[in-house]
A and B are shown apart, each in its own frame.
Chain A
Amino acid sequence: SQTIHQWPATLVQPVGSPLSLECTVEGTSNPNLYWYRQAAGRGLQLLFYSVGIGQISSEVPQNLSASRPQDRQFILSSKKLLLSDSGFYLCAWSVGLPGEQYFGPGTRLTVT
Protein backbone atom coordinates (compact mmCIF):
# COMPACT_ATOMS: atom_id res chain seq x y z
CA SER A 1 0.00 0.00 0.00
CA GLN A 2 1.00 3.59 -0.51
CA THR A 3 2.40 5.74 2.26
CA ILE A 4 3.33 9.40 2.28
CA HIS A 5 5.74 10.94 4.77
CA GLN A 6 6.41 14.55 5.64
CA TRP A 7 8.94 16.06 7.97
CA PRO A 8 9.34 17.83 10.19
CA ALA A 9 5.92 17.66 11.82
CA THR A 10 6.26 21.10 13.41
CA LEU A 11 8.68 23.94 12.84
CA VAL A 12 9.20 27.38 14.39
CA GLN A 13 11.42 29.65 12.35
CA PRO A 14 12.35 33.35 12.60
CA VAL A 15 11.52 35.79 9.83
CA GLY A 16 14.25 35.82 7.20
CA SER A 17 15.47 32.29 7.85
CA PRO A 18 15.55 29.58 5.18
CA LEU A 19 13.08 26.70 4.92
CA SER A 20 13.22 23.15 3.65
CA LEU A 21 10.29 20.75 3.95
CA GLU A 22 10.47 17.24 2.57
CA CYS A 23 7.85 14.81 1.34
CA THR A 24 8.36 11.23 0.20
CA VAL A 25 5.91 8.69 -1.16
CA GLU A 26 6.25 4.92 -0.91
CA GLY A 27 4.46 2.14 -2.74
CA THR A 28 3.77 3.85 -6.06
CA SER A 29 5.67 4.97 -9.13
CA ASN A 30 5.53 8.21 -11.09
CA PRO A 31 2.95 9.90 -8.87
CA ASN A 32 1.74 13.45 -9.34
CA LEU A 33 2.89 15.41 -6.31
CA TYR A 34 1.43 18.54 -4.77
CA TRP A 35 2.25 21.13 -2.12
CA TYR A 36 -0.64 22.91 -0.44
CA ARG A 37 -0.79 25.50 2.32
CA GLN A 38 -3.69 25.85 4.74
CA ALA A 39 -3.62 29.10 6.66
CA ALA A 40 -5.85 29.74 9.67
CA GLY A 41 -9.39 30.52 8.54
CA ARG A 42 -8.56 29.91 4.89
CA GLY A 43 -8.99 27.03 2.51
CA LEU A 44 -6.37 24.77 1.03
CA GLN A 45 -4.24 26.70 -1.43
CA LEU A 46 -2.33 24.83 -4.12
CA LEU A 47 1.27 26.07 -4.21
CA PHE A 48 3.09 23.69 -6.56
CA TYR A 49 2.48 20.49 -8.43
CA SER A 50 4.75 18.10 -10.30
CA VAL A 51 4.02 15.42 -12.88
CA GLY A 52 7.58 14.08 -12.98
CA ILE A 53 11.22 14.50 -11.95
CA GLY A 54 12.35 18.08 -12.46
CA GLN A 55 8.89 19.19 -13.65
CA ILE A 56 7.44 21.83 -11.35
CA SER A 57 4.47 24.12 -11.92
CA SER A 58 3.64 27.01 -9.63
CA GLU A 59 0.12 28.24 -9.03
CA VAL A 60 0.82 31.14 -6.69
CA PRO A 61 3.71 33.62 -7.06
CA GLN A 62 5.55 33.89 -3.74
CA ASN A 63 8.92 33.51 -2.09
CA LEU A 64 8.62 29.72 -2.03
CA SER A 65 10.07 27.22 -4.50
CA ALA A 66 9.77 23.49 -5.02
CA SER A 67 11.96 20.75 -6.43
CA ARG A 68 11.55 17.11 -7.32
CA PRO A 69 14.99 15.51 -7.36
CA GLN A 70 13.66 11.93 -7.35
CA ASP A 71 10.46 10.26 -8.55
CA ARG A 72 8.94 10.01 -5.08
CA GLN A 73 10.54 13.00 -3.36
CA PHE A 74 9.17 16.54 -3.30
CA ILE A 75 10.85 19.43 -1.50
CA LEU A 76 9.47 22.86 -0.59
CA SER A 77 12.00 25.60 0.06
CA SER A 78 12.38 29.26 0.83
CA LYS A 79 15.47 31.43 1.07
CA LYS A 80 13.88 33.96 3.43
CA LEU A 81 10.67 33.30 5.34
CA LEU A 82 7.98 35.93 5.83
CA LEU A 83 5.44 36.10 8.65
CA SER A 84 2.75 35.36 6.06
CA ASP A 85 4.38 31.98 5.32
CA SER A 86 3.01 30.57 8.57
CA GLY A 87 0.54 27.77 8.05
CA PHE A 88 -0.07 24.06 7.71
CA TYR A 89 1.87 22.68 4.75
CA LEU A 90 0.50 19.57 3.15
CA CYS A 91 2.01 17.29 0.55
CA ALA A 92 -0.30 15.12 -1.53
CA TRP A 93 0.04 12.49 -4.24
CA SER A 94 -2.19 11.11 -6.95
CA VAL A 95 -2.09 8.60 -9.76
CA GLY A 96 -4.73 7.66 -12.28
CA LEU A 97 -8.02 9.45 -11.85
CA PRO A 98 -7.83 13.25 -11.94
CA GLY A 99 -8.15 14.78 -8.52
CA GLU A 100 -8.07 11.66 -6.34
CA GLN A 101 -5.38 13.01 -4.05
CA TYR A 102 -4.05 11.61 -0.80
CA PHE A 103 -2.44 13.81 1.79
CA GLY A 104 0.55 13.39 4.06
CA PRO A 105 0.41 14.24 7.78
CA GLY A 106 1.52 17.83 7.19
CA THR A 107 4.06 20.26 8.66
CA ARG A 108 2.86 23.05 10.91
CA LEU A 109 5.11 26.06 10.33
CA THR A 110 5.14 29.11 12.58
CA VAL A 111 7.23 32.07 11.48
CA THR A 112 8.05 34.41 14.38
Chain B
Amino acid sequence: QKEVEQNSGPLSVPEGAIASLNCTYSDRGSQSFFWYRQYSGKSPELIMFIYSNGDKEDGRFTAQLNKASQYVSLLIRDSQPSDSATYLCAVNFPNYGGSQGNLIFGKGTKLSVKP
Protein backbone atom coordinates (compact mmCIF):
# COMPACT_ATOMS: atom_id res chain seq x y z
CA GLN B 1 0.00 0.00 0.00
CA LYS B 2 1.50 3.29 -1.13
CA GLU B 3 0.60 6.01 1.35
CA VAL B 4 1.66 9.52 2.21
CA GLU B 5 -0.03 10.90 5.30
CA GLN B 6 -0.39 14.51 6.39
CA ASN B 7 -2.45 16.23 9.04
CA SER B 8 -5.14 18.08 7.11
CA GLY B 9 -5.19 21.01 9.54
CA PRO B 10 -5.97 23.79 9.45
CA LEU B 11 -2.76 24.76 11.18
CA SER B 12 -3.00 28.30 12.45
CA VAL B 13 0.10 30.26 13.52
CA PRO B 14 0.65 33.93 14.29
CA GLU B 15 2.72 36.08 11.98
CA GLY B 16 6.44 35.74 12.75
CA ALA B 17 6.12 32.28 14.33
CA ILE B 18 7.54 28.98 13.10
CA ALA B 19 5.11 26.74 11.22
CA SER B 20 5.87 23.01 11.36
CA LEU B 21 4.33 20.70 8.78
CA ASN B 22 4.71 16.93 9.00
CA CYS B 23 4.44 13.98 6.65
CA THR B 24 4.89 10.22 6.94
CA TYR B 25 5.22 7.69 4.14
CA SER B 26 4.85 3.94 3.81
CA ASP B 27 7.71 2.81 1.50
CA ARG B 28 11.14 2.38 3.10
CA GLY B 29 12.65 2.35 -0.40
CA SER B 30 11.64 5.92 -1.16
CA GLN B 31 14.65 8.15 -1.84
CA SER B 32 13.27 11.55 -2.85
CA PHE B 33 10.85 13.85 -1.08
CA PHE B 34 9.17 17.06 -2.13
CA TRP B 35 7.14 19.90 -0.67
CA TYR B 36 4.68 21.79 -2.83
CA ARG B 37 2.72 24.91 -1.94
CA GLN B 38 -0.76 25.33 -3.37
CA TYR B 39 -2.68 28.57 -3.05
CA SER B 40 -6.44 28.31 -3.22
CA GLY B 41 -7.59 27.79 -6.80
CA LYS B 42 -4.03 27.54 -8.15
CA SER B 43 -1.73 24.72 -9.18
CA PRO B 44 0.97 23.30 -6.88
CA GLU B 45 4.37 24.99 -6.84
CA LEU B 46 7.54 23.10 -5.92
CA ILE B 47 9.27 24.82 -3.00
CA MET B 48 11.68 22.25 -1.56
CA PHE B 49 13.09 18.81 -2.19
CA ILE B 50 15.34 16.63 -0.06
CA TYR B 51 17.14 13.35 -0.70
CA SER B 52 19.45 12.84 2.29
CA ASN B 53 18.77 12.40 5.98
CA GLY B 54 19.05 15.61 7.95
CA ASP B 55 18.13 19.20 7.25
CA LYS B 56 18.10 21.25 4.08
CA GLU B 57 17.63 24.99 4.32
CA ASP B 58 16.46 27.44 1.67
CA GLY B 59 15.71 30.92 2.93
CA ARG B 60 12.92 30.74 5.50
CA PHE B 61 12.19 27.10 4.63
CA THR B 62 13.86 24.04 6.14
CA ALA B 63 13.08 20.49 5.07
CA GLN B 64 13.92 17.70 7.49
CA LEU B 65 14.17 14.01 6.58
CA ASN B 66 14.41 10.92 8.79
CA LYS B 67 14.34 7.82 6.61
CA ALA B 68 14.54 5.41 9.55
CA SER B 69 11.29 6.86 10.92
CA GLN B 70 9.84 7.40 7.42
CA TYR B 71 9.18 11.01 8.32
CA VAL B 72 9.69 14.28 6.51
CA SER B 73 8.84 17.76 7.70
CA LEU B 74 8.84 21.36 6.54
CA LEU B 75 9.58 24.27 8.83
CA ILE B 76 8.68 27.81 7.85
CA ARG B 77 10.43 30.43 9.94
CA ASP B 78 9.12 33.99 10.39
CA SER B 79 5.77 32.95 8.91
CA GLN B 80 4.00 35.59 6.83
CA PRO B 81 0.32 35.91 5.86
CA SER B 82 1.47 35.24 2.28
CA ASP B 83 2.54 31.76 3.42
CA SER B 84 -1.13 30.89 3.99
CA ALA B 85 -1.75 28.00 1.59
CA THR B 86 -2.07 24.23 1.48
CA TYR B 87 1.26 22.41 1.64
CA LEU B 88 1.50 19.09 -0.17
CA CYS B 89 4.07 16.46 0.71
CA ALA B 90 5.09 14.22 -2.21
CA VAL B 91 7.19 11.08 -2.06
CA ASN B 92 8.77 9.20 -4.94
CA PHE B 93 7.85 5.51 -4.73
CA PRO B 94 10.44 3.58 -6.77
CA ASN B 95 8.13 0.72 -7.71
CA TYR B 96 5.19 2.86 -8.70
CA GLY B 97 4.92 3.17 -12.45
CA GLY B 98 7.94 3.95 -14.62
CA SER B 99 11.61 3.13 -14.28
CA GLN B 100 12.22 6.12 -12.02
CA GLY B 101 9.06 5.62 -10.01
CA ASN B 102 6.36 8.20 -9.60
CA LEU B 103 5.14 10.61 -6.95
CA ILE B 104 2.45 9.90 -4.40
CA PHE B 105 1.01 13.07 -2.89
CA GLY B 106 -0.44 13.57 0.55
CA LYS B 107 -3.77 15.35 0.82
CA GLY B 108 -2.05 18.44 2.16
CA THR B 109 -2.01 20.54 5.30
CA LYS B 110 -3.79 23.88 5.20
CA LEU B 111 -1.71 26.60 6.85
CA SER B 112 -3.19 29.89 8.01
CA VAL B 113 -0.86 32.66 9.18
CA LYS B 114 -2.69 35.30 11.21
CA PRO B 115 -1.46 38.92 11.11
Using CB atoms and an 8 Å cutoff, list the residues of chain A in contact with chain B. Answer: 32, 34, 42-44, 46, 49, 51, 57, 59, 90, 97-106
Residues of A contacting B97 with CB < 8 Å?
46, 49, 57, 59
Residues of A within 8 A of B107 (CB): 42-43
Contacts of A51 in B (CB 8 A): 98-99
Determine the distance from Cα of A42 to Cα of B107 in the docked complex, in whole angstroms.
6
Q: Tell whether A104 pairs with B43 under 8 Å between CB atoms, given A46-B97, A98-B32, A99-B103.
A: yes
Whether B108 pairs with A46 at a CB distance below 8 angstroms is no
Main secondary structure of the interface of B (DSSP, over half): loop
Contact of A57 among B45, B98, B108 (CB under 8 A): B98
- Count how many pairs of residues, one from A and one from B, have CB atoms less than 8 Å apart in the complex: 61
A59 touches B43 (CB 8 A): no
Cβ contacts under 8 Å, A59 to chain B = 97, 102
Contact A43 B49 (CB under 8 A): no
Closest residue on chain B to residue A59 by CB atoms: B97
Is B46's CB within 8 Å of the partner chain A? yes
Partner of B101, one of A99, A100, A104: A99
A100 to B102: give the CA distance in the assembly, Å.
10
Do A99 and B34 form a contact, CB below 8 Å, given A43-B107, A43-B108, A46-B103?
yes
Residues in chain B near residue A104, CB distance under 8 A: 43
What chain B residues lie within 8 Å of A106 (beta carbons)? 42-43
Interface string of B23-49 (1 = CB under 8 A from A): 000000001101010000011111001
Identify the 7 closest CB pairs spanning chains A and B, nearest first: A99-B92, A98-B100, A44-B105, A43-B107, A103-B43, A106-B43, A99-B32
| Residue in B45, B99, B101, B102 whose CB lies within 8 Å of A103 | B45
The residue in chain B whose Cβ has the minimal distance to the Cβ of A43 is: B107
Q: A43-B108, A97-B32, A99-B34 are in contact. Are A49 and B102 (CB under 8 A)?
A: yes
